[in-house]
Structure 1
Amino acid sequence: MRTQYVAAVDLDRDRLAEDLARAEEFHYSEAYSNYLIGGPWKSAMLWATGGDSGTGLLTTYAYDRAADFTEYGRRLPYLRELVTNTVDVSRLQFVRLAVFSDSVIVPHRDFLELTDLPEDARSAHRVHIPLITHEECFFSEDNTVYRMRAGEIWYFDAARIHAVASLVAAPRIHLIFDFTDRPGDRPLIVPDREPVGDRIPDRSAVRRPALPDSRRDELRRLADLLTMDTFREVFSIVIKTHFRWDGGEDFAWDTMFALARACPDQDVLPHTRELFQYYTLDRTGSKE
């Protein structure tokens, strides 16, 4: 399912605030924080195969056991209602309460580490519902940058290369749902919330100015500073530039490869190739 806006739910702000206050007591996993520059990316599992909160790493759960609310999910009555009233739980595998701020997420694909699982067991579809977000929080897919706003329901094509940015210190909190590809008696999202209108509405799309040559020249000069020690800082600058300026398709990775080829540190280019493989092509056998 391609990334697309589906509909919006009216969030009960008071009940949501009560649940989020309870959730502050949870032990949040920092699994997948290696995808961030800034970070961390924290999550609490509310629904999972086997019904256990677990480690947060999707590869560590009991895929042969029925899915159910975890201990954390059972302690959040409002979010529990939101889950059961919004999606087809017969195909639901995971629901995470995910929090991050003041960070960028490296352009990557998800689900790559699940390819060893049987097709009818592995996660194949993802849905986002933002609970708290800000105008300085962005997603991108291909060369499209957009915002998901609080209460909106989005199908999210996690198998395509995508990046995320939160450019404010205040937390961004989403519910993230993962589903199997098994047939169901009803759509993943309840029937009256099927996709309508544009895939990414105009109100959600972020219109970025074209990246000027002067800014490209500034980025090229980062090659002089790029080393294994500064790699993450330089990559963060490149990713943030992608969210502010339209540099064209595959801008972030193409820019990093160009800088890696030009920089004096000979270890940087093979490192860039290794990261590109891991984040976008193959994570079979990896723990994260």
Structure 2
Amino acid sequence: MSNNRALKGISLLKSQRLAVLPIDSYDLASELSVVDRHEYGGEYDALTFGSWSCHVLANGSGAESDIAFRPHDARLTLTELGSQLPNIMTLVTEHFSLDRLQWVRIFSLRDGLMAPHVDFLEWAKAGTRLQIPLRTTEESLHSEDDIVYHLRRGEVWKIHTTAPHSASSSSRTARLSLCLDFADAEEPVAVRDDIPATEPIRIIERPEATEAELEELIASGQKMTPATMRSAFRRFAALHFERRAHAVATFDWYEEAARRTGDAGVVAKAEAFRRYCVEKRTDGEAFDW
């Protein structure tokens, strides 16, 4: 990538790298294996494709089955899984204040991706979401608007959750990212005892999509049916990580493919999925493919 384009990507990125943690000071390998074996209930299946799962270490109820994010005023309580991961929880408590911390979760992603989405649409006030990769590979990527970037192991990122964003990984090794949700989006989150960042922020260059590539993608979906719509969406979302395009363009391509089916129900479902992901959701609303 040219330096000018890399600098432009960094300057436009709303998400921020806040710090780097001395992650090698913690013995995490055995605990990450526990997460690998932990079962996931599928609460976010409408938004995820391939192998994506969510694992709760602490929340307001103490129940590890209580996965779906929501703001709360309860005291942060360890789940059974969290009690099995003392080194990961020590990483959290040694570097962050618990005063505003509401959720501690780990997101696992392997050979899969998330639909572009906007978080906190359901609530009047957004919170602050941090992500810290505990295990990752070069193939594990995040996106925001039309920028794709990589979070390195131990980097603390404040995710700009109200911009359309996504995550993808083609690796067969599960990327495990610690997700910390704090109340209040305006108040900064302090990070204690971090170490200097030695690597520049990594922006991923992607070529522009050609008209032929977009036509082939859209044409591939024109035979979609209600039964195949969900599986078909993955290919549309994947192109955003491979070609320079805004995350929301995923829905533009998908809706055009839906229109070409001539099926009003397929079109309505495609439009509803855009609304659910990036425009409007209600508290507790689930999308039914």
TM-score of the aligned structures, taking structure 1 as reference length: 0.84
* Cα distance, 1:183–1:253 mapped onto 2, change above 3 Å: closer
Aligned position for 1:28: 40
- Check the 8 A contact 1:4/1:195 in 2, yes or no: no
What pairs up with 1:174-185 in 2 under 5 angstroms? 174-181=177-184
Aligned position for 2:248: 250
* Cα distance, 1:50–1:255 mapped onto 2, change above 3 Å: same
What pairs up with 1:227-242 in 2 under 5 angstroms? 227-242=225-240
CA distance in 2, matches of 1:239, 1:22: 30
CA distance in 2, matches of 1:66, 1:100: 29
- Check the 8 A contact 1:126/1:178 in 2, yes or no: yes
- Check the 8 A contact 1:29/1:55 in 2, yes or no: no
Is 1:73 the counterpart of 2:85? The answer is: no
* Cα distance, 1:140–1:217 mapped onto 2, change above 3 Å: same
What pairs up with 1:144-155 in 2 under 5 angstroms? 144-155=147-158
Pairwise CA distance, 1:203? 4.2
Aligned position for 1:139: 142
**After alignment, is 87-96 or 30-39 more displaced?**
30-39
Pairwise CA distance, 1:103? 1.3
What is the one-letter code of the residue matched to 2:272? E
Aligned position for 1:106: 115
Aligned position for 2:58: 47
CA distance in 2, matches of 1:13, 1:196: 16
- SS state of the match for residue 102, structure 1? strand
Aligned position for 1:88: 97
- Check the 8 A contact 1:96/1:177 in 2, yes or no: yes
- Check the 8 A contact 1:208/1:245 in 2, yes or no: yes
- SS state of the match for residue 134, structure 2? strand
Task: Return 5+ residue gaps in structure 1 as ranges.
Answer: none
**After alignment, is 43-52 or 238-247 more displaced?**
43-52
* Cα distance, 1:248–1:24 mapped onto 2, change above 3 Å: closer
CA distance in 1, matches of 2:36, 2:49: 23
Pairwise CA distance, 1:12? 2.6
Write the deviation string for residues 18-52 of structure 1: whole angstroms up to 9, x where unpaired: 2223445544343212211223x322211212444
Task: State how many pairs are aligned.
Answer: 274
- SS state of the match for residue 257, structure 1? helix
Aligned position for 2:20: 8
| Percent identity between the two aligned chains | 28
Write the deviation string for residues 109-135 of structure 1: whole angstroms up to 9, x where unpaired: 1122344xxx5xxx6110000011111
- Check the 8 A contact 1:104/1:163 in 2, yes or no: yes
Aligned position for 1:189: 190
Task: Return 5+ residue gaps in structure 2 as ranges.
Answer: 1-12
Q: 1:262 aligns with which of 248, 260, 263?
A: 260
Pairwise CA distance, 1:248? 4.8
CA distance in 2, matches of 1:202, 1:151: 14
What is the one-letter code of the residue matched to 1:42? S
CA distance in 1, matches of 2:48, 2:158: 22
| Cα root mean square deviation, aligned | 2.8
CA distance in 2, matches of 1:249, 1:18: 36
Is 1:58 the counterpart of 2:69? The answer is: yes
